[in-house]
Amino acid sequence: MQDRDTTLSLVLFSGTDDKLSAAAVLAVGAAAMGRPVNVFLQYYAVDAFRSDRIAADHGLDPEATPAQRSTVTTHAGQHWSELLRQAKDIGEVSIHACALSMEMFGLKQNDLDPLVDDVEGVAAFMSDAVAGPITFI
Amino acid sequence: MQDRDTTLSLVLFSGTDDKLSAAAVLAVGAAAMGRPVNVFLQYYAVDAFRSDRIAADHGLDPEATPAQRSTVTTHAGQHWSELLRQAKDIGEVSIHACALSMEMFGLKQNDLDPLVDDVEGVAAFMSDAVAGPITFI
Amino acid sequence: MQDRDTTLSLVLFSGTDDKLSAAAVLAVGAAAMGRPVNVFLQYYAVDAFRSDRIAADHGLDPEATPAQRSTVTTHAGQHWSELLRQAKDIGEVSIHACALSMEMFGLKQNDLDPLVDDVEGVAAFMSDAVAGPITFI
């Protein structure tokens, strides 16, 4: 039973390392404050959670300039998948893959990293996001 | 009179087919649960709703890799404009074009697809978004 | 003491002029309605607020087509930094730089424009965003 007023719902669309890192930092921050976090993976984010490539280089947002790319790439920080693992350890964080996107990419749940709890439709996601912010990244 | 606590406000900035499809899926999901949906079109999203090009190819997010492009492009799914039409049929969904963006692109309301209900300023949009999530896509 | 139910929290990730302008328009609209606005700068947005380059050309989102680029670039409008200054004049708008991103880019607060109030961690940001929308741009 989630406290729906404070649940942070994150729709992850992008599969680049910078946006996934920004999302993971928000998830950790919310989980550390005791907020439930409800993550929905669509499009390129689903692809980034494939177990055979979650640790691979997923590139950066195309807006990054060469100087920015160099700065972000050489920065030693924790991988977003590790941050999400910590968020799950300290709080109530669930990660769902969008059924439509899974079908589009021809994926089954066991193609994805165990961080992903299940595959669900948008109606199920929306019923957990009935109040509280819905943040698209 | 909207139930402002549960209204989902979507600010559509991007005009690519993948992001517009992701937005339309969220709108359909929210409308199916009886949530009012309040859409505000800015920048490239306004351009994508022009009646002479709404059905055209609007490309994909520049982060998509060639393999991802091929996957998304060949996937047979409903067009986002059709999904939005369904959302309007089943629920309380209003679509507003941002007055500033309309002026920037030199557009008048009758240049836009009939899915768009009106042109409004950010103050009017914000007064319908006084509570509930504001999701930028 | 903020009215946390209505606080609009904006996480600015992108550093392009079109997205920063869209964000500034939303901030002005919210501030004009008396809503507190809580801005958190991450990644490329932090870089865009550097005092030595805030007025520089920060480019447009890579999805913009050449025709859209021409339209947006030639449009005479107020700069986003000026809009944010107005939002601060008329309302309760605070702008925080993400500590992790500051460290990544090797920046100190006095490298940033005075529009930025302070540097804070994600926990501090989240404690001001405990209710109300969290909009990622």
Q: Which residue of chain A has the CA closest to C16?
A: A63
Instruction: Record the pTM.
Output: 0.96
Per-residue pLDDT at A5? 63
Q: Say how far apart CA A76 and CA B36 lie, in whole Å.
A: 44
Q: Do A132 and B133 touch (CB under 8 A)?
A: yes
Q: Which residue of chain C has the CA closest to B9?
A: C133
Min Cα–Cα distance to chain A from B74, Å: 9
Min Cα–Cα distance to chain C from A136, Å: 6
Q: Do B126 and C26 touch (CB under 8 A)?
A: yes
Confidence of residue A25 (pLDDT cuts 50, 70, 90): very high
DSSP letters spanning B11-44? EE----HHHHHHHHHHHHHHHHTT--EEEEE-HH
DSSP strand pairing (C37-41 vs A93-98):
unpaired
**One-letter amino acid identity for B82?**
E
Instruction: Check pLDDT > 80 for residue A3.
Output: no
Question: What is the rounded (10 degree) CA torsion for A100, A101, A106, A107?
Answer: -110
Instruction: Check pLDDT > 50 for residue C70.
Output: yes
Q: Say how far apart CA B28 and CA B83 lie, in whole Å.
A: 7
Q: Do C25 and B133 touch (CB under 8 A)?
A: no
Query: pLDDT, tens digit, for every residue of A65-116?
Result: 999 999 999 987 899 999 999 999 999 999 999 999 999 999 999 999 999 9
Q: Do B43 and C18 touch (CB under 8 A)?
A: yes
Q: Which residue in B43, B62, B129 is closest to C22 by CB distance?
A: B43
Which CA distances in Å does A70 have to C59, C103, C109?
A: 18, 14, 22
Percent with pLDDT over 90 in chain A: 92
- List residues of B whose CB lies inside 8 A of any C CB: 9, 11, 13-16, 42-44, 47, 59, 61-62, 98, 100, 104-106, 121-123, 125-127, 129-136
Confidence of residue C6 (pLDDT cuts 50, 70, 90): confident
